[in-house]
Amino acid sequence: MRTIGAALCVALLVLAPSRGARAQVEARRVSLDEALRAAHRASPDLIIARARESVAHSEVSVAGVYPNPSVAGGTSTQAARFSGTLSLPLVILGQRGAAIDAARADEATVALDTQVTWNDIRRTTELAFVALWLAERVETARRDSATIQATIEAAVAQRVQVGSAPELEALRVHAEKVRADADVLGATAAVTAAGSELGRWMGITDGAGLRASADPPVPDAVPSLDAMLARLDSSAPVRREMSDVHASEARADRERALVRPYMSLDRSEERRVGKECRSRW
């Protein structure tokens, strides 16, 4: 019996975290509103979506840039000593407007895509907060169960000492106590994992110490199916798909405009030895 008990104690020492590891994890209480504000401010996925939105906004300015003029020059010993040509492209057949419209349509689609990303992040953050809150309650229940098992083990040990209970009963109760302690370790690890998951959406590098400061809010009434269906067309995912269709049509108009002929204003000059400069438009 002593050998088995010693082996179980060694197993608990191996599984139990050290005091240094416990000290490194400092509990930080956060509410659901605080978690959502942090996610809206520093969520990695939302930061990427906002960066894409900034790029799409810059593309609008790029699409409205006029083509650069071209300059060519040369010299010759057989004809003109010096010749030069200046060519200024004239975008006057709708190519620039079609490019700007396509870029603006893409920008609107990316902006709606950011809203869809925020909706997903908000939902995931709420689920992660609820999972953390539930894991904390499970850990508390496991600790209470372990305390009860410790009390039972102590009572049975006293009965074994006075001879009113067999030693096998003490071994059984001790095994249940070890299992309860293992459940506590598992529940504590689940709380740490849930805190890390919530911290990932909040933009926190190490969220192992996050803890729920209050119960998650519960709505007083659930909206009806008809009310939700009536708002379906105004939801961000639907508007994003409709905007994508409009952007596709704008890109098609831009491609059709690109096949239109380009016009340019050219000026050339030639200078011969002993003669005046001659210019042509």
Range in 65-74, 129-138, 161-170 the model is least confident about: 65-74
pLDDT over threshold 90, residue 135: yes
Collapse the DSSP code of 277 into the 3-class scheme (helix H, G, I; strand E, B; otherwise coil) and give the result: coil
Query: Which has more confidence, 217 or 6?
Result: 217
pLDDT exceeding 90 applies to what percent of the chain?
41
List Cα–Cα distances, 93 to 35, 57, 104, 105, in angstroms: 52, 24, 19, 20
Nearest Cα neighbor of 195 from 153, 235, 114, 139 is: 139
3-state helix, strand, coil in the chain (%, to 5): 65, 10, 25
Cβ neighbour number for residue 117 with a 10 Å cutoff: 20
Asked if 264 contacts 86 with a C-beta cutoff of 8 angstroms, the reply is no
pLDDT over threshold 90, residue 131: yes
pLDDT over threshold 60, residue 175: yes
Query: Which has more confidence, 69 or 54?
Result: 54
DSSP labels for 120-133? HHHHHHHHHHHHHH
Asked if 209 contacts 27 with a C-beta cutoff of 8 angstroms, the reply is yes
pLDDT over threshold 60, residue 17: no
Regarding pTM above 0.85, the answer is no
Please tell me the predicted confidence (pLDDT) of residue 10: 39
For the chain, the straight-line distance linking the first and the last C-alpha, in angstroms and rounded, comes to 109
pLDDT over threshold 90, residue 185: yes
Please tell me the predicted confidence (pLDDT) of residue 276: 55
Side chain identity, residue 21: A
Residue 92 binned pLDDT confidence (cut-offs 50, 70, 90): confident
DSSP-assigned beta bridge partners for residue 211: 29
pLDDT over threshold 50, residue 23: no
Average pLDDT over residues 185-212: 92
Query: Which has more confidence, 255 or 17?
Result: 255
Exposed (0-12), middle (13-18) or buried (19+): which is 40, by Cβ within 10 Å?
middle
Please tell me the predicted confidence (pLDDT) of residue 18: 41
Place of tokens 């098992």: 149
DSSP labels for 137-185? HHHHHHHHHHHHHHHHHHHHHHHHHHTSS-HHHHHHHHHHHHHHHHHHH
Tell me how long the chain is.
Answer: 281
Please tell me the predicted confidence (pLDDT) of residue 279: 56
What tokens does 194 get?
């849930």
What tokens does 189 get?
């690890």
- What digits encode the pLDDT tens for the residues 231-250? 888 888 899 999 999 999 99
Taking all residues of the chain, what is their mean pLDDT, rounded to a whole number? 82
Please tell me the predicted confidence (pLDDT) of residue 24: 47
Place of tokens 């000593």: 81
Please tell me the predicted confidence (pLDDT) of residue 141: 95
